Amino acid sequence: QHTNNIFAPNTGTFTLEGNVTSSAEAEIWNELGQVVYTDVLHPSNGMLHHTITLNKTIAPGIYLLRLKTNTESQTMRFTISK
């Protein structure tokens, strides 16, 4: 597992894209360690294209997104700014 800071600051809506061979669990945590989003993402023809829209009342700050498949896990840090 490794952490990347790949997202530009956003307002709570962003799109995940990439090559994925199986479904992936997505979880987002806030700075307090509270889960604010969970979903199972399903690729189509080996490609993932999924837009995540968080609750409009979500606080600005740093969040962690973890994508987990049967074989790997990746955690990415991003910032929500309003």
Q: What angle do CA 77, 6, 1 make, to 5 degrees?
A: 60
Which position has the token pair 């956003």? 10
pLDDT tens digits for range 6-41: 567 888 888 888 888 889 999 999 999 999 999 999
Residues ≥6 apart with Cβ < 8 Å to 42: 23
- Model pLDDT, residue 3: 47
Which of 7-16, 38-47, 64-73 shows the lowest per-residue confidence on average (mean pLDDT)?
7-16
Which DSSP string do the residues of 56-73 spell out, in sequence order?
A: TTPPSEEEEEEEE-SS-E
State which amino acid sits at residue 64: L
